[in-house]
Amino acid sequence: MKIKERAIVSLLCAVTICVSWSGFMSRNLPQDQRPCACERCLSEDDPWFMKRFNKSVEPFLSANYNLSEDDFSWWKGLWGEKTKFGTFRKLLDKVFLMIPPSPHVLEPSPDRCRTCFEADVGARTTHRVMYPESSVDLGDSTHFLMAPFKSIDFEWLLDALNTGYNATPEWIVNRKITANKDLVKIINPVFMRYVHDMWLEKEGYYPSTGFLALVLALHMCDEVSVFGYGADSDGNWSHYWEELVDKMVKTGGHPGNTEYEIIQKLHELQKLKFYTGF
């Protein structure tokens, strides 16, 4: 029995040493061979993470991006739209006459650490992910990242940043907002589909805006810190810009439990730091 116990202990020690050595070696490669200058880089080592993380997906739309009709059909199906592909392309062309046609994203490099933890977190907004229904006025230095869920969101963007949006949908409250047009980026429908298919494994109708923002941060940053995710004691997500009226909404069409479990898993794998507040 003791021999068996010694064998098991020896095996566990060997596995621990191998795992530790693997992590040690990845962090102690010559700097020019590492993807970033952080203590730990997101893209290093983990099969579970690398199965889901596709660094080749373009996070943002650009004037020259070739959105396929298949991806467009998936996206317009989110709200059961009937917009034709050609009509959508013409709408995009108008949008990119107003905002930068080629959004700048800082690329990973061995000589820098792109951190998504700002020293003034909670005091100043550097980036804000919004859609028409959640829109607010932004400061001149704040990046507006629009999460488009329907064609009308692009029409709203064109007008809301100019003379004001005057079409009929009553659910759009803010018809004119203040924002720096040079700092507007539009989240790519292909990126939204990637998050739904790869990260959420097609659970729910589509990802929540918060989860989209989180995966976006994993693509834009080498270090990510996360605050304020999860449901309240009633199982509802509370929007910080409005009082929750429907106490039975829970997490809506989003797979809230799955999203939360993935965030916890990313924290366990040290891909991000998750501050729950309790």
Are 19 and 203 contacting, i.e. CB atoms less than 8 angstroms apart? no
- Sorted by sequence, the CB contacts under 8 Å of residue 44 that are 6+ apart come out as 26, 27, 34, 35
Are 177 and 135 contacting, i.e. CB atoms less than 8 angstroms apart? yes
Are 165 and 156 contacting, i.e. CB atoms less than 8 angstroms apart? yes
One-letter-per-residue 3-state SS of 87-113: HHHHHHHHHHHHCCCCCCCCCCCCCCC
d(CA 130, CA 153): 10
What is the dihedral sign for C-alpha 207, 208, 213, 215?
Answer: negative
Query: Catalytic residue numbers?
Result: 206, 254
